[in-house]
């Protein structure tokens, strides 16, 4: 087992979410209990079966990015812009003097997913290469005439690793740079990996994040084809109902959550404000989606933290709000926490903004870090009728007081990749 005693703490939070931009606005959104799910405005969604989602409204990257780097915004898809801006927020929140930071000990890890092309950028090439028959492109015409009608840097705008690349370039982070592309579990996996890198004394400081935006026609078509999405178009704020009996699927959201994390001594030396310590991490694959993998990931994280289930204040759940996924998660949570004398409070942040994809895990985790700071766990929205198939103590109706210093954040994918992180409030 690892012999290192280097500890990792969270010293900065950067959130861009459908319920608020910036740490304080995000907490405000969670506290007021208002949903960020609304009719979509990004483009005309008249043809889509799901016409609602969690948008980061009025997001303007230029407000976050220094003049020197603004010209690069044109080679950044919206996902990348969200990542870069949330990273700036996290760094500002950490109040670090970059001049005193060793660039070779400064790493970047992001969770990200597929980024779809803007259709307009291929339009000229497309029109000269087709006769409009579905599924037919004349590749000779594409090669002769079409190719030259696309911007030279087109591909770079959409590569998943460009989130971390741009962040490392803007902040001169020359340490390890990785991009985890494991759907909704990507953010937690990135965080666990950054902690291991700090532990083994390769880095002292990390920006770790997740970002995702799928509000463009191609992505939305694709997700409507394969994700179980809610059809509650007439009641957007009621649509995402994790663990509620009447849930009918999630909605797509967009956003970014970025943490500044650093080695404890490094943080203390510079007098940093410390939110929490990352004390445990575990990951697993849940074969057959029985909940056993979810339980294994949580147990590994608890063991890593050196604590038991009874030490946990609340579970920050994946809570997707699809019929099957919530049952599956409830089984996993029951396996770990079901034996306790007191039922374990479970909070499902997706009820506020839906499924943020690769941005979800860390944006949600930030919610619990803030809950610890403010001493209360926000409510789960739309939890009105318990589902007997999900026998959990959902925090709903009114906020729950924080009673213990530890929380656990759980994320998993539809296919079975699971991860859990345990954080301890810094005191």
Q: Give the nearer residue to other proteins in terms of CB position, either 112 or 372.
A: 112
**CB-nearer residue toward other proteins: 19 or 251:** 251
Instruction: Supply the minimum distance, in Å, between the C-beta of residue 398 and other proteins.
Output: 37
Query: Which listed residue (50, 250, 368, 413) binds other proteins by CB under 8 A?
Result: 413
Question: In DSSP terms, which residues pair with 425 in a beta bridge?
Answer: 276
Shortest approach of other proteins to residue 183 CB, angstroms? 4
Rule CB under 8 A: choose which of 5, 225, 339, 427 binds other proteins: 225
Choose the stretch contacting other proteins; rule: CB under 8 A; options: 33-41, 47-55, 249-257, 368-376.
Answer: 47-55
Indicate the residue among 180 and 390 with the shorter CB distance to other proteins. Answer: 180
Residues 270-299 binding other proteins (CB under 8 A) are 282-287, 293, 296
Q: Which of residues 124-183 bind other proteins (CB under 8 A)?
A: 125-127, 129-130, 132-137, 139-144, 147, 150-156, 159-162, 164-166, 168-169, 171-183
Among 23, 78, 199, 241, binds other proteins (CB under 8 A): 199
Positions in 60-89 near other proteins (CB under 8 A): 72, 75
Tell me how far, at minimum, the Cβ of 20 lies from other proteins, in Å: 28
Stretch that binds other proteins, among 11-19, 212-220, 328-336, 382-390 (CB under 8 A): 212-220
Which residues within the stretch 96-125 sit at the binding site for other proteins (CB under 8 A)?
Answer: 103-104, 107-108, 113-114, 119-120, 122-123, 125
Q: Which 3-state string (H, E, C) describes the chain? A: CCCCCCCEEEEEEEEEECCEECHHHHHHHHHHCCCCEEECCCCCCCCCCCCEEECCCCCCHHHCCCHHHHHHHHHCCHHHHHHHHHHHHHHHHHCCCHHHCCHHHEEEEEECCCCCCCHHHHHHHHHCCCCCCCCCCCHHHHHHHHHHHCCCCHHHHHCCCHHHHHHHHHCCCCCCEEEECCHHHHHHHHHHHHHHHHHCCCCCEEEEEEEECCCCHHHHHHHHHHCCECCCCCCHHHCCCCCECCCCCECEECEEEEEEEEEHHHHHHCCCCCCEEEEEEEEEECCCCCCHHHHHHHHHHHHHHCCCHHHEEEEECCCCCCHHHHHHHHHHHHHHHCCCCCCCEEECCHHHHCECHHHHHHHHHHHHHHHHHHCEECCCCCCCCECCCCCCEECCCCCEECCCCEEEEEEECCCCEEEEEEEEECC
CB nearer to other proteins: pick between 115 and 276 = 115
**355 binds other proteins per the rule CB under 8 A:** no
In the complex, minimum distance from the CB of residue 286 to other proteins, in angstroms, rounded to a whole number: 8
Contact flag: residue 222 with other proteins (CB under 8 A):
yes
Tell which positions 380-409 bind other proteins, by CB under 8 A: none
Least Å distance, CB 66 to other proteins, is 16
> Closer CB to other proteins, residue 314 or residue 409?
409
């Amino acid at each position: 087992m690892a012999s290192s005693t280097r500890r990792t703490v969270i010293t900065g939070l950067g959130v861009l979410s459908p319920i608020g931009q910036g740490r304080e606005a995000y907490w405000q959104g969670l506290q007021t209990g208002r949903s960020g799910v609304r009719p979509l405005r990004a483009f005309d969604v008249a043809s889509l079966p799901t016409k609602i989602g969690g948008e980061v409204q009025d997001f303007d990257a230029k407000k976050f990015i220094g003049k020197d780097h603004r010209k690069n915004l044109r080679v950044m898809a919206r996902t990348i812009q969200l990542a870069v801006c949330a990273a700036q927020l996290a760094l500002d929140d950490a109040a670090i003097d970059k001049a005193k930071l060793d660039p070779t000990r400064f790493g970047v890890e992001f969770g990200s997913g597929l980024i779809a092309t803007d259709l307009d950028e291929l339009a000229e090439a497309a029109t000269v290469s087709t006769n409009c028959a579905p599924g037919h492109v004349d590749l000779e015409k594409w090669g002769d005439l079409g190719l030259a009608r696309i911007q030279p840097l087109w591909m770079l705008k959409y590569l998943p690793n460009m989130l971390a690349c741009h962040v490392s370039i803007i902040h001169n982070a020359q340490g390890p740079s990785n991009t985890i592309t494991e759907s909704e579990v990507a953010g937690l996996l990135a965080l666990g990996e950054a902690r291991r890198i700090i532990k083994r004394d390769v880095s002292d400081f990390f920006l770790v994040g997740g970002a995702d935006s799928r509000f463009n026609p191609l992505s939305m078509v694709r997700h409507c084809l394969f994700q179980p999405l809610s059809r509650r178009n007439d009641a957007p704020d009621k649509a995402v109902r994790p663990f509620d009996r009447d849930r009918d699927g999630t909605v797509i959201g967009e956003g970014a959550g970025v943490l500044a994390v650093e080695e404890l001594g490094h943080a203390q030396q510079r007098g940093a404000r410390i939110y929490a310590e990352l004390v445990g991490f575990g990951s697993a694959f849940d074969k057959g989606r029985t909940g056993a993998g979810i339980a294994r990931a949580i147990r590994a994280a608890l063991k890593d933290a050196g604590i038991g289930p009874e030490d946990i204040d609340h579970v920050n759940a994946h809570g997707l709000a699809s019929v099957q996924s919530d049952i599956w998660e409830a089984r996993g949570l029951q396996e770990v926490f079901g034996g306790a004398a007191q039922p374990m409070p479970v909070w499902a942040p997706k009820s506020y903004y839906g499924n943020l994809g690769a941005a979800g895990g860390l944006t949600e985790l930030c919610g619990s870090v803030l809950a610890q700071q403010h001493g209360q766990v926000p409510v789960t929205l739309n939890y009105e009728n318990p589902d007997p198939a999900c026998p959990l103590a959902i925090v709903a109706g009114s906020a729950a007081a924080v009673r213990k210093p530890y929380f656990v954040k759980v994320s998993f994918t539809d296919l079975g990749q699971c991860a859990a992180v345990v954080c301890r409030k810094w005191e």
